[in-house]
């Protein structure tokens, strides 16, 4: 018997998504299948004096979900996490009646946390004196508060943590949840990421790094793997997945969307922001996920790429994919950041939801607006419209500043 077969199996029984192209996980998936673009001029503030004027915002009336009095005590990234988590919990059917909440946990990533709160309260301190900032400033700003708030609301009393590994965080949160269940620390884990930093400071910081697209045409802004790509578009949102031990899910007759079978990670140990041009770290994370899942590269039917639309990321990611998959490198690839922009710490979890649905429905969403593949980006990219494909395994990879790399693999659940 292999080591993999002795481990507790983990399935996905609930999902929640709040993205620039859909405010539930079903609406998000429908929009991704259509190839909708959520990029538009910034409305969160007046960006007319900045070079970057496009973003992918969540334009949702949050008061319909959280009363204004309570929402004022949360940074927006926490608010988005709470709304998406509510959907995932409801979608899963998990309650205190069918689950021991002491064995139910939460892992929610955020790359930046409450940046909007920090900048707002700093301005207030400068104007009124720092002893006059909001008493909620600290609990609103700290990055772990999304996980804390979600745990409080759901009543989950098991492991609760926040992963902060930049743009790889959402993927790592899922991996940590997988490991917690697989090794017996929990039966249920609500995992994902949340981000909301469409602010002048964040936009300015990324702009000064020359990391962002500065054009004004949404259709040519986030164009992963395109020869003309010139930087990412900042997005906001949240994605949550309810992970559950297979026996626990079957015992309560839960609907199972897919099985989570592999996770791998690594570190470039190379540079604070740039990926290693050799792509060794990125390739290693993918290889580790395949090994963890007990699969060979030829088993993978779809890759949801990190695909940020920056010159360095897309080139290095394409090198990593070709290196790992070799002759199997014709596996279909697309980056849904072409639609959602880059959700930073929420990206990996939102893109894992894409993989769940791709395996479940046999449909591959497109990499929209791609005209001509860039140098060294000669992958089998799903362009134009999405397409049907009979696949069983889908992989999502993510990479973040600091050299953090991660990948998860989901499998179609064919069992009754």
Cβ atoms of 223 and 309 within 8 Å: the answer is yes
Note the pLDDT of residue 328: 57
pLDDT per residue as tens digits for the range 40-51: 999 999 999 999
In whole angstroms, give the CA distance from residue 93 to residue 98. 9
Q: Which residues are catalytic?
A: 167, 306, 342
- Would you say residue 327 has pLDDT above 80? no
pLDDT per residue as tens digits for the range 221-270: 999 999 999 999 999 999 999 999 999 999 999 999 999 999 999 999 99
Query: Considering the domain boundaries, does residue 5 fall inside one?
Result: no
Three-state DSSP state, 173: helix
pLDDT band at 329 (very low <50, low <70, confident <90, very high): low
Three-state DSSP state, 252: coil
Query: Considering the domain boundaries, does residue 26 fall inside one?
Result: yes
**For the chain, what is the domain count?**
1
**Which tokens is 155 given?**
């009543």
In whole angstroms, give the CA distance from residue 173 to residue 326. 29
Give the H or E element holding residue 265: strand 258-267
- Nearest 5 degrees, angle CA 195-CA 16-CA 310? 40
In whole angstroms, give the CA distance from residue 252 to residue 402. 41
CA-closest candidate to residue 218, choices 52, 346, 354 = 52
**Which tokens is 346 given?**
């929420």
Cβ atoms of 391 and 412 within 8 Å: the answer is yes
CA-closest candidate to residue 371, choices 233, 211, 225, 213 = 225
C-alpha distances out from residue 227 to 103, 140, 366, 374, 381, Å = 48, 41, 17, 4, 13
- Would you say residue 398 has pLDDT above 60? yes
Q: Cβ contacts of residue 69 below 8 Å, gap of 6+?
A: none
- What DSSP string runs through 77-106? HHHHHHHHHHHHHHHHT--TTTS-GGGEEE
- Would you say residue 7 has pLDDT above 90? no
Query: Considering the domain boundaries, does residue 374 fall inside one?
Result: yes
Count of CB atoms situated within 10 Å of the CB of 376: 14
In whole angstroms, give the CA distance from residue 245 to residue 178. 9
Query: Considering the domain boundaries, does residue 341 fall inside one?
Result: yes
In whole angstroms, give the CA distance from residue 185 to residue 159. 8
Query: Considering the domain boundaries, does residue 416 fall inside one?
Result: no
- Would you say residue 105 has pLDDT above 50? yes
The number of angstroms, rounded, from the C-alpha of 367 to the middle of its chain's C-alpha atoms is 16
Count of CB atoms situated within 10 Å of the CB of 390: 7
Query: Considering the domain boundaries, does residue 231 fall inside one?
Result: yes
In whole angstroms, give the CA distance from residue 15 to residue 20. 16
Backbone angles phi, psi at 297, to 5 degrees: -55, -35
pTM above 0.75, yes or no: yes
- Nearest 5 degrees, angle CA 193-CA 173-CA 32? 50
Give the H or E element holding residue 241: strand 237-245
Q: What is the CATH number of the domain that holds 197?
A: 3.40.47.10
Query: Considering the domain boundaries, does residue 1 fall inside one?
Result: no
pLDDT band at 3 (very low <50, low <70, confident <90, very high): very low
pLDDT per residue as tens digits for the range 224-237: 999 999 999 999 99
Query: Considering the domain boundaries, does residue 290 fall inside one?
Result: yes
User: Containing domain of residue 202, as a range?
Assistant: 10-410
């Amino acid at each position: 018997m292999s080591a993999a077969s002795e481990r507790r199996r983990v399935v996905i029984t609930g999902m929640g998504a709040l993205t620039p192209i859909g405010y539930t996980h079903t609406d998000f998936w429908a929009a991704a299948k259509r190839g909708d673009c959520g990029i538009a001029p910034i409305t969160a503030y007046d960006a007319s004096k900045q070079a970057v004027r496009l973003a992918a915002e969540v334009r949702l009336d949050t008061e319909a979900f959280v009363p204004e009095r309570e929402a004022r005590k949360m940074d927006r990234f926490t608010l988005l996490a709470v709304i998406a988590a509510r959907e995932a919990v409801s979608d899963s059917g998990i309650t205190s009646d069918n689950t021991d909440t002491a064995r139910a946990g939460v892992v929610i990533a955020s790359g930046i946390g409450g940046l909007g709160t920090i900048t707002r309260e700093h301005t207030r301190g400068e104007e009124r004196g720092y002893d006059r900032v909001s008493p909620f400033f600290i609990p609103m700003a700290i990055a772990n508060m999304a996980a804390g708030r979600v745990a409080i609301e759901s009543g989950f009393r098991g492991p609760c943590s926040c992963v902060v590994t930049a743009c790889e965080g959402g993927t790592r949160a899922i991996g940590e949840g997988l490991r917690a269940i697989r090794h017996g620390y929990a039966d249920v884990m609500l995992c994902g990421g949340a981000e909301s930093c469409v602010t002048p400071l964040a936009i300015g910081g990324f702009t000064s790094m020359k990391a962002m697209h500065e054009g004004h045409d949404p259709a040519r802004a986030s164009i992963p793997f395109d020869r003309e790509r010139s930087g990412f578009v900042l997005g906001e949102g949240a994605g949550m997945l309810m992970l559950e031990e297979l026996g626990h899910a079957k015992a309560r007759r839960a609907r199972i969307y897919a099985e989570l079978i592999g996770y791998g990670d690594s570190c470039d140990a190379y540079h604070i922001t740039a990926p290693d041009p050799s792509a060794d770290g990125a390739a290693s994370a993918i290889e580790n996920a395949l090994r963890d899942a007990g699969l060979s590269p030829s088993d993978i039917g779809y890759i949801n790429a990190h695909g940020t639309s920056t010159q360095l990321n897309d080139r290095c990611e394409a090198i990593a994919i070709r290196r790992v998959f070799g002759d199997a490198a014709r596996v279909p690839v697309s980056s849904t950041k072409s639609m959602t922009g880059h959700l930073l710490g929420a990206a990996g979890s939102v893109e894992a939801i894409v993989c769940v649905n791709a395996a479940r429905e046999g449909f591959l969403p497109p990499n929209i607006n791609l005209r001509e593949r860039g140098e060294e980006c000669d992958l089998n990219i799903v362009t134009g419209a999405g397409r049907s494909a009979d696949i069983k395994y889908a992989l999502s990879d993510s990479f973040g500043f600091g050299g953090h790399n991660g990948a998860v693999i989901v499998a179609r659940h064919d069992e009754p």
